[in-house]
Amino acid sequence: DSQLVYFILNTNDEIMYDPFNFKNSNFDTKRNGIEGKTFSEITDKFGFGVNAAYMNAEFDGSAFNNNSLPMTPKEKYGLELKYKFDDNWIFSFDWNFIRDFYRANDFNNNFKADNYDVCNLKLIYKNKDFYSYIYFNNIFNKKYSTYQSSSGFSIDNGEYPMPGFNVLWGVGYIF
């Protein structure tokens, strides 16, 4: 199962916080890029998938014309490994890597955000309409922030860190 998509998105009057005027303002923006993914069942028990995306996202006009949009990564990569123990149990590993973007409010593109990657494990049990799962997130307990801010003039506004290693458990029933 594979997919490749090219996209173009031009937006008029996108609302963003304007750090220079201290209010929400409307900006014209343009985005284009390519995304691809593939997943293959190598055997009846083992599957492997990869995905990648490249996006060019910029202001279209205004004093920031052709500057990159803050908090919009140019590149994203992922890897997934799945193993089916039997018809009920599935184990998976995924890795996601995000890179090349600017901090929030950095319309002048002065403050690059930190790239980050994270790895997770999942164990899923399914039996007809019942399912249960346990997710082991951020298995290497990495310190990273998906939202990295700036004032537009400096990076002193901080970051919003993601949780370290954590476990999520749940059950469900489909009816």
CA angle 30, 32, 38 (to 5 degrees): 150
Q: What is the pLDDT of residues 59-77, one digit of tens each?
A: 999 899 999 999 999 999 9
Tokens of 30: 């343009």
The yes-or-no verdict on residue 155 having pLDDT over 80 is: no
Q: What is the pLDDT of residues 26-39, one digit of tens each?
A: 999 999 999 999 99
Given this model, what pLDDT does residue 157 score?
67
The yes-or-no verdict on residue 18 having pLDDT over 90 is: no
Q: Per this entry, what is the length of the chain?
A: 175
When pLDDT is cut at 50, 70 and 90, the band that residue 156 belongs to is low
Given this model, what pLDDT does residue 76 score?
97
Given this model, what pLDDT does residue 43 score?
96
Tokens of 35: 């995304």
- For residue 51, the SS3 value is strand
When pLDDT is cut at 50, 70 and 90, the band that residue 19 belongs to is confident
Whose tokens are 């995000």? That residue is 98
When pLDDT is cut at 50, 70 and 90, the band that residue 20 belongs to is confident
